[in-house]
Amino acid sequence: MFDLPFDFPPFEAGSVWLVGAGPGDPGLLSLLALHALRNADHVIHDALVDSRIVALARPGAVTEAMGKRGGQQSSSRQADITERLIELAKQGSRVLRLKGGDPFVFGRGPEEALALAAAHIPFRVVPGITAGIGGLAYAGIPVTSRDTNAAVAFVTGHGADGDIPDGFDWDALARGAPVLVFYMGLKHLERMVARLLAAGRKPAEPVAVVCDAATPRQKVVETTLADLAATVAVAGLVPPALLVVGEVVGLRSRLDWWRPE
């Protein structure tokens, strides 16, 4: 595939590779991810994986969309996805589970890997660029900067039950990291903002919302924490979206480098 000074690991029949496809741009795929696409017999991909990436699968490979989108009846159940991976591997296929971002960052990759291990299915994990880093970079927002923050917190916008996450200390979260990056945060936006304000975050703190990060549909809106819910409503923003709270948002006026085609 490439003239490189190393060999790619073999994609064995009867195994599953859990592969991160990155936040959107096909150019952000790793070499191992492309190797998997070029050798898989069956590709099970998320709803958030760009169609241009799926199209890189080798001729003759079967591609199957089994994505989960909150609130949509057409979404696949996680149990069905996991069962399908095991079924195909037991049939002797080279199975590629292609996931947006990184499979082990706010994804169901760990659950799928544990199920594969329990079923004695060989598997490999290929990390991808998570949207909270790569997607924000495409929006001109660094997650850290020497002049603004020495820490960053990545937070899921909803828990396992689909409700606002309550498994951590919101006061400690608000105090502990100058920059907060929320994945999947639009559904419970007003409640999350209320908790952050109650925990001491400043109403005028800059916030950015990045929708469809690193894709031709990317849209970025800047506002303040106090005005966040109203701004999202007026702009008609919809998932998938990232929220970033903190002074790094102010750097975007000088770092907004990417223009979607």
Task: Name the residues annotated as catalytic.
Answer: 46, 68, 184
- C-alpha 136/C-alpha 154 separation (Å) is 12
How many residues does this entry show for the chain? 261
Closest CA to 143 of 104, 105, 182, 169: 182
Could you tell me which residues come within 8 angstroms of residue 243 by beta carbon, excluding any fewer than 6 positions away? 157, 180, 181, 182, 185, 186, 189, 207, 208, 209, 228
- C-alpha 11/C-alpha 38 separation (Å) is 10
Q: Is the peptide bond before 23 cis (omega within 30 degrees of 0)?
A: no
Q: Tell me the one-letter amino acid at 228.
A: L
Residue 232 tokens, joined:
């999202």
Whose tokens are 């907004």? That residue is 256
Q: How many CB atoms lie within 10 A of CB 198?
A: 11
